Structure formats: structure tokens, C-alpha cells
């Protein structure tokens, strides 16, 4: 059973500057809700009971959002606007937070969750990628596969070759129904990617991943790459990929951010 999830939210948001100079990218508005709220909702709907959000010193807005505002509640009650209280009700999940004091990469951020996770399998959800489900929540799809295979499960999707250089890409061995065994994984291949299956920010990990993260050497930019730990672990433990069913939007890309807003808020919106 997967009960815990880590959401890394400590990055600078350089792909969405200049707005992310003052507004965390995780709080970018989508039809009146911050982007992060869609990720938290997906986790809760997938059975997650505890969420650790990795933040930086400039991300206090996230903590404030998932906290009560007694002043606002009192104001709404005094002004006979109690019908709006449901709009600021807190999600039914236990939140914890830890600060990443220096941006040393995704792998370093996840490593900060070692004590939170303990000896349990856990999920990781990246808030850049919002995936609207066809039927089953994206994370639930990974959890179901974990239940069957008991190994690391990496969410992937097929991309055009020109886009693969911006993603981690797996070398797959086909199993069934868009399920794969991961033979290898490469971070942002600039040429000759091993497949067209890119990693899209949804993971289920065995806690053994922390041992591999602790042994990863920083890259030339001084960052600890999660992909390097996955690659090393795949040599000792069988890891799997799953093509997630759902409509995926990378909100750090302006075109996809606008498309997502139009999809949700437009006349044919589904949420």
C-alpha cells in the first residue's frame, strides 16, 4: 500500500520567469486554483494519506495556502458569506514540509524525504506536469501497477523526437498494455535517444532508492540527478515504466499552460 507522497516544490521556476521571481510556479493560477492544488487532489484521490512538500525559503506562500486563515473565515461569517467557506476548506490529508536550503537538483530534494518515508514505498509527483485523467487518476495507475510488480514504477509518455532532449528517456522492454521493463534510462539525451518514451513526473519508488541517491555523484552543474539513481538501481532491482492514460500539460510551457486553462475553463471544460 502506498500511503506517502513527496512533492518537490523548491525550484526557482526559471522556465516561467519573470512571474516566478515573485510567484512560485506551483502557485500559478488555473481557473482560480493554484497548479499545486491539482497535484494534491490527484494524490488524495489515489489514496495518499501523508504528503511531504519540499520547499525553499521563498515558497512560504505554499505553506500559507494549506493552512487555515482564521481572519478570512471570520470575515466571511460576519459578512454572511458562509457559502464561500467551502472554497477555502483544507484537503483531507496530512501535510509536512522541509526546506531545501540550496538548489542541488531533484535527486537532492527527494533525498530530504528519507526520514518522512521510512521503510515504505512512496510516490513522487512533480508539479510541473498536470495530468487530467480519462477515468483513473494518473498516480492510481502507477500504484495499481506497483501492486502487481512490486518494483519502481516510472510514468512515461510518447513524445516527438525533437522534444526528447528535454526529458529523461527510458530504454524499454515491452511487457503488456503499455507496461515496460526499464532496461536503461538516460537524462536529456541530446542525440540518439533510446526510445520515444519520456518520463513525465510521476513515480512510485521502493525506499531503497535513497541508498542510490546518497551514492550519486553531482553532475557538472553540481546537481544530484534522480535519473542517475534510477539508472543505478535498475541494475540491481527491476524497474518498470507505464504509459499513463490522461491528457498531460507541462505548465512551464506557456502554450500548454494556456491550453490547460482553456481546456478546464472553456465552454467544453471538464472540471
Rounded mean pLDDT of 141-158? Answer: 95
**pLDDT at position 270 over 70:** no
**pLDDT at position 269 over 70:** no
Rounded mean pLDDT of 73-99? Answer: 95
**pLDDT at position 38 over 90:** yes
Q: Across the chain, what does the average pLDDT equal? A: 93
Give the tens place of pLDDT for each residue, 87-144. 999 999 999 999 998 888 999 999 999 999 999 999 999 999 999 998 899 999 999 9
**pLDDT at position 25 over 50:** yes
Give the tens place of pLDDT for each residue, 219-253. 888 899 999 999 999 999 999 999 999 999 999 99
Contact of 42 with 138, CB cutoff 8 Å: yes
CA distance 154 to 21: 31
DSSP state of 1: -
Chain centroid to CA 36:
9
How many Cα atoms sit within 13 Å of 89 on the Cβ side? Answer: 10
**pLDDT at position 164 over 50:** yes
Peptide bond into 55 cis (omega under 30): no
Q: What is the pLDDT of residue 271?
A: 44
Contacts of 176 (CB under 8 A, 6+ apart): none
pTM of the model: 0.93
Amino acid at each position: 500500500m502506498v500511503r506517502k507522497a513527496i512533492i518537490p516544490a523548491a525550484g526557482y521556476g526559471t522556465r516561467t520567469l519573470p512571474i516566478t521571481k515573485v510567484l512560485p510556479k506551483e502557485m500559478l493560477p488555473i481557473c482560480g486554483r493554484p497548479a499545486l492544488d491539482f497535484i494534491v487532489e490527484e494524490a488524495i484521490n489515489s489514496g495518499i494519506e501523508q504528503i511531504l512538500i519540499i520547499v525553499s525559503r521563498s515558497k512560504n506562500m505554499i505553506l500559507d495556502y494549506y493552512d487555515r486563515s482564521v481572519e478570512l473565515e471570520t470575515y466571511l461569517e460576519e459578512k454572511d458569506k458562509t457559502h464561500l467557506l467551502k472554497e477555502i476548506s483544507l484537503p483531507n490529508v496530512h501535510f509536512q514540509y522541509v526546506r531545501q536550503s540550496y538548489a542541488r537538483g531533484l535527486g537532492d530534494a527527494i533525498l530530504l524525504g528519507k526520514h518522512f518515508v521510512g521503510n515504505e514505498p512512496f510516490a513522487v509527483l512533480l508539479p510541473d506536469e498536470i495530468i487530467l485523467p480519462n477515468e483513473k487518476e494518473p498516480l492510481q495507475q502507477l500504484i495499481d501497477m506497483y501492486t502487481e510488480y512490486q518494483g519502481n514504477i516510472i510514468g512515461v509518455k510518447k513524445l516527438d523526437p525533437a522534444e526528447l532532449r528535454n526529458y529523461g528517456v527510458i530504454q524499454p522492454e515491452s511487457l503488456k498494455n503499455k507496461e515496460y521493463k526499464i532496461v536503461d534510462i538516460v537524462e536529456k539525451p541530446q542525440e540518439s535517444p533510446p526510445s520515444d518514451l519520456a518520463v513525465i513526473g510521476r513515480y512510485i519508488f521502493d525506499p531503497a532508492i535513497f541508498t542510490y541517491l546518497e551514492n550519486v555523484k553531482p553532475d557538472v552543474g553540481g546537481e544530484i540527478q534522480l535519473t542517475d539513481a534510477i539508472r543505478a538501481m535498475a541494475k540491481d532491482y527491476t524497474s518498470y515504466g507505464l504509459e499513463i492514460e490522461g491528457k498531460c500539460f507541462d505548465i512551464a510551457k506557456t502554450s500548454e499552460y494556456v491550453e490547460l486553462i482553456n481546456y478546464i475553463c472553456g465552454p467544453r471544460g471538464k472540471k
